[in-house]
Structure 1
Amino acid sequence: MYKVFVNDKPIILTTKVEQETYFKNYLLDTVQLGKVIKELNNTSLKEVRLIHKNEDKLLKKFLKKLPVVEAGGGKVYNKNGQILFIYRNDKWDLPKGKAEAKESIEETSIREVEEETGVKGLKITKPLETTYHIFKRNGKYKIKVTYWFEMTTTFSGNLWPQINEGITKVEWLDEVQAVQALENSYANIRLLI
């Protein structure tokens, strides 16, 4: 099973057909994704489930439905156990960004965290969940696939929000502050924290 978010409403990729209640079922092979996105955005529907009989092909078939943008990001801990958050578009988020040509996804993740926050000396400690969400650019829907990594740093310098990317704040948040920030964040970020 996979979750692909349209804003904070999920499209669930699954092999199980269940009785529709707060959601609708569609067949993955024949679904009109534009219609599904519109339905999630404009109705009280809580989620959509796209059904395919072969679990191994769920994600591959779904990713053929729209152009894919690959990105990398980091859940960064400092020596005090605080997590690095950014504030963009009136929501708390984790630093991430689009992969550039000939760059590994690990390199993308480190570069994006540095660019968006000013934090240096990042070390990847382990991969985290991959998240999926649908967004609209220039009138066209795309799927962003974000590969996340847990990182550590001993950096103690100034934090610099990347203003030209719409980031207005960068902060180290402790566990209690992180939980509070997640109340004004994205569903796919809540999966990571």
Structure 2
Amino acid sequence: MYKVFVNDKPIIYTTSIKNEEDFPVYIYKNTIIEELIYKLKVGKLSGVYIYSNNLIEDWLDFKLKFKVITAGGGLVLNESKKVLFIYRGNKWDLPKGRVEEGEGLEEAAIREVEEECGIEKLVIKQKLLVTYHLFMQQNEYRLKETHWYLMYSNYKGVLTPQLDEGITKAVFKDEKTTNKALQNTFANIKMVYESYLETFKNDTLS
């Protein structure tokens, strides 16, 4: 299954006939993707399933319709297993950014977290997942593919938000304040946190 967000509304590519979210179901070969994206953007649809009997082939065909922007980001834990959040555009978010030319995914993820939060001593523990969302740039949609990593840092210095990127806060949050922040964030950020909870929460990271 692949999930692509348009304004936090999902396009779910699947080979399953189950419809857990009660979204309308479309057949990939019979679907005009641009029309679906428009309906999601303007609120005519709250989400859709796209059924495929060859998910890999159809997913690659979908990706060919857009310029893909590759990014890397991190869910960073400190010694107390608090989660590092940034605040930008009136939303809580996790640090991430585009992969530069000649740069590896993990290298980009660490660099972006360091730049956006002013943190040091980052160690990648494991990859979590990849998220996808569509956004407008130069009057056309681009597909952002973000590779997320579970990271750890024992950094005890002052965090410095990257103000020139519109980030006004960088802060570690405990479980209670994390859950509150997740009420004001993006759908793909919730997916990243859920992936961490499902796989790593009880692990020892240090």
Question: Contact conserved, 1:22 with 1:46, CA < 8 A, in 2?
Answer: no
Per the TM alignment, residue 28 of structure 1 is displaced from its structure 2 partner at its CA by: 2.5
Distance 1:38 1:71 in 2: 24
The alignment of Structure 1 onto Structure 2 pairs a total of residues equal to 193
The answer for the alignment partner of 1:74 in structure 2 is: 74
Per the TM alignment, residue 30 of structure 1 is displaced from its structure 2 partner at its CA by: 4.8
The answer for the alignment partner of 1:166 in structure 2 is: 166
Distance 2:124 2:138 in 1: 34
Q: Which residues in structure 2 correspond to 1:77-116 (within 5 Å)?
A: 77-116=77-116
Amino acid at match of 2:136: K
Amino acid at match of 2:45: L
Two-structure CA RMSD over aligned residues (Å): 1.8
Please identify runs of 4+ aligned residues in structure 1 that moved more than 4 A: none
* Percent identical residues: 43
Please give the secondary structure, in 2, of the residue aligned with 1:23. Answer: coil
My pick for the range that moved more, 22-31 or 181-190, is 22-31
Please give the secondary structure, in 2, of the residue aligned with 1:3. Answer: strand
Distance 2:79 2:17 in 1: 46
Q: Which residues in structure 2 correspond to 1:1-193 (within 5 Å)?
A: 1-17=1-17, 22-193=22-193
Deviation digits for residues 71-102 of structure 1 (CA, Å, limit 9, x no counterpart): 00000001111110001111000000000011
Question: Contact conserved, 1:134 with 1:142, CA < 8 A, in 2?
Answer: yes
Gap runs ≥5 in structure 2: 194-206
Please give the secondary structure, in 1, of the residue aligned with 2:81. Answer: coil
Gap runs ≥5 in structure 1: none
CA shift in 2, pair 1:154/1:37, >3 Å: same
Question: Contact conserved, 1:22 with 1:45, CA < 8 A, in 2?
Answer: no
Per the TM alignment, residue 22 of structure 1 is displaced from its structure 2 partner at its CA by: 4.8
Deviation digits for residues 36-85 of structure 1 (CA, Å, limit 9, x no counterpart): 11101213422112222113324322211211000000000011111100
The answer for the alignment partner of 2:203 in structure 1 is: none
Please give the secondary structure, in 2, of the residue aligned with 1:46. Answer: coil
Please give the secondary structure, in 2, of the residue aligned with 1:26. Answer: strand
Amino acid at match of 1:59: W
TM-score if structure 1 supplies the norm length? 0.93
TM-score if structure 2 supplies the norm length? 0.88
Please give the secondary structure, in 1, of the residue aligned with 2:184. Answer: coil
Whichever structure has more helix as a proportion of its residues is 2
